[in-house]
């Protein structure tokens, strides 16, 4: 059985579990709040590890199979830790027509990564998105929450190289 102590905790004074519990209380531990709670857990911990999934399942009275099923069904949820920086490449139609595939392969080559992967030192994660809805500015990339429009392979490489050099 997973205990609270088995949850991934980096910071010594960890309020994250408290916040997770508070979120579940707010939803009155309803099983149908599972997706909402997984959103909260991922916001708090950065990813969902198996102990966390078991813990949420037990609190909401949802079998582990279903929790795992839900966590792996949706693209947003990740069961692996993300890198310190994240570069999201939009592969929506407008961005594709304007050449994001070229930018993506340039990034993959440069950092020896496949999309969805993280560099061995844990600095950079490369992620693709279905469509960010900023099609007017295609091609669009997101560098750590910051949306950037009309990106070229050169600017994308410059930004990510910068991260790699000063982690």
Partner 1 sequence: MIADDLAAVRERERTAISLSTARIAVCSAAGCISTGGAAVKDALGAAVIAHNLSGSVRVLGTGCLGLCHAGPLMRVTRGDAEPVLFTKTTPAFAERVIAGLPSGVLPLEQRCDLQQPFFTRQHRIVTSDAGIVDSERIEDYLAAGGYTALERTLAELHPEDVVREVSLSGLRGRGGAGYPTGLKWSTVAKAAGHGTFIVCNADEGDPGAFMDRSVLEGDPHRVLEGMAIAAYAVGAEQGYIYVRGEYPLAITRLKTAIRQAERMQLLGHRILDSQFNFRIDLRIGAGAFVCGEETALIASIEGKRGMPRPRPPFPAEAGLWGRPTLINNVETYANIAPIILHGGAHYATLGTERSKGTKVFALAGRIVNTGLVEVPMGMPLGEIIFDIGGGIPDERQFKAAQTGGPSGGCIPAAHLDLPVDYEALAGIGSIMGSGGLIVMDETSCMVDVARYFMEFCRDESCGKCVPCRAGTVQMHGLLTKMTHGTATDRDLALLEQLAELTTRTSLCGLGQTAANPVRSTLRHFHDEYLAHIHDHVCPAGVCAMNGEDPR
Name the residue among 121, 78, 106, 131 with its Cα closest to residue 142: 131
Question: Which CB sits closer to partner 1, 73 or 112?
Answer: 73
State the residue for tokens 């949802």: 62
State the residue for tokens 């998105």: 129
Shortest gap between Cβ of 122 and partner 1 (angstroms)? 23
Question: Which CB sits closer to partner 1, 14 or 110?
Answer: 110
Instruction: Give yes or no for a contact between 118 and 125, defined as CB atoms under 8 angstroms apart.
Output: yes
Instruction: Give yes or no for a contact between 156 and 103, defined as CB atoms under 8 angstroms apart.
Output: yes
Shortest gap between Cβ of 13 and partner 1 (angstroms)? 28
Shortest gap between Cβ of 146 and partner 1 (angstroms)? 8
SS3 content of the chain, % helix, strand, coil (to 5): 50, 10, 40
Question: Which CB sits closer to partner 1, 2 or 134?
Answer: 134
Shortest gap between Cβ of 24 and partner 1 (angstroms)? 12
Binding site for partner 1 (CB under 8 A): 30-36, 38-39, 62, 66, 69-70, 73-77, 91-94, 96-98, 101-102, 105, 129-138, 140, 146-149
């Amino acid at each position: 059985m997973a205990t609270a102590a088995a949850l991934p905790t980096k910071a010594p004074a960890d309020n994250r579990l408290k916040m997770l519990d508070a979120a579940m209380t707010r939803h009155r531990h309803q099983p149908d709040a599972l997706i909402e709670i997984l959103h909260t857990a991922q916001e708090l911990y950065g990813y969902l590890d198996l102990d966390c999934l078991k813990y949420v399942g037990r609190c909401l009275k949802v079998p582990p199979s279903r929790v795992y099923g839900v966590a792996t069904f949706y693209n947003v949820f990740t069961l692996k830790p993300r890198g310190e920086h994240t570069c999201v490449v939009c592969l929506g139609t407008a961005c594709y027509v304007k050449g994001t595939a070229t930018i993506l392969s340039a990034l993959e080559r440069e950092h020896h990564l496949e999309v969805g992967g993280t560099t061995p030192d844990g600095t950079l994660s490369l992620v693709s998105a279905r469509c960010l809805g900023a099609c007017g500015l295609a091609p669009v990339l997101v560098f750590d929450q910051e949306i950037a429009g009309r990106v070229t392979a050169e600017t994308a490489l410059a930004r990510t190289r910068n991260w790699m050099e000063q982690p």
